[in-house]
Amino acid sequence: MKFFLDTASLEEIKEAVSWGAVAGVTTNPTLYARIGGKIQDFEEHINKICTLVKGPVSAEVTAPDAAGMVAQGRELAAIAKNVAVKVPMTLEGLAATRILANEGIEVNMTLVFSVSQAILAARAGARYVSPFVGRFDDIAEDGVVHLVNIIIALGNYDFSNDGPKGERIEVIAASIRNPSHVSQAALAGADIATVPFGVLKKCATHPLTTNGLAAFEADWEKVKQA
């Protein structure tokens, strides 16, 4: 499983890239608003992210209709070679995805919550599909179960002729809230987990690691004084 970072913060991206595991970035309007982003700076900001990360950087369209999404998608895709256009899972979004995919533009279909939505996204030519896990947990449903179902269903078929470049559609486990979500996404065979900075940090920690290190340090002090 690859890790994407789910953030619009340049500082977080720089730090997480230095840990060696970040293969891409996902942003959305909420994440951009969270860093105080302004509309006129958006494309330049995405460009900056694209210089920090080699892999796909998802930038989301905001138009409600297919024509608007396609226009925005083309503009976003022109920012850098590694932009993936994030399109919401609606009928208008599906129509936009088909057009963008036919032009060779990679689409990350977002706000996906069901098997039927995921199959439609794949048939429309999405390069990535993003099932949201945590938002199910927020409404007292098990988001991992839905993720697993989507992975199984997509694995039943070959969608490579539907996508922009003949590649297999990849599942991005999204709306990840804790390291357990990350582990379960990996066990379920998700291709990618897009993870907030704080959760990625937590993934690297374990109390037994902390305790073990403290013991090594204490014993090394004894060695130095022997």
Q: Which residues bind ligand E4P (CB under 6 A)?
A: 6, 26, 28, 30, 110, 130, 132, 134-135, 174-175, 194
Q: How far is the CB of 30 from ligand E4P (least distance, A)?
A: 6
Catalytic residue among 14, 38, 81, 86: 86
Q: Which is closer to ligand E4P, CB of 134 or CB of 164?
A: 134
Per this entry, what is the length of the chain?
226
Single out the residue of 51, 188, 52, 79 nearest to residue 60, CA to CA.
79
Minimum distance from CB of 147 to ligand E4P (Å)? Answer: 12
Using CB atoms within 10 Å of the CB of residue 165, give its burial: 0 to 12 exposed, 13 to 18 middle, 19+ buried: exposed
Residues 6 or more apart whose Cβ sits within 8 Å of residue 46: 27, 57, 59, 76, 79, 80, 83
**Shorter beta-carbon distance to ligand E4P: residue 11 or 209:** 11
CA distance 68 to 11: 31
Least distance in Å: CB of 222 to ligand E4P?
46
Contacts of 74 (CB under 8 A, 6+ apart): 100, 103, 105
Of the pair 62, 209, the CB lying nearest ligand E4P is at 62
Asked if 84 and 106 count as a contact pair (C-beta separation under 8 A), the reply is yes
CA distance 30 to 42: 13
Nearer to ligand E4P, 6 or 162 (CB): 6
Q: Known catalytic residue: 54?
A: no
C-alpha–C-alpha distance, residues 36 and 32, integer Å: 7
Write down the least CB distance from residue 176 to ligand E4P, Å: 6
Active site residues: 86
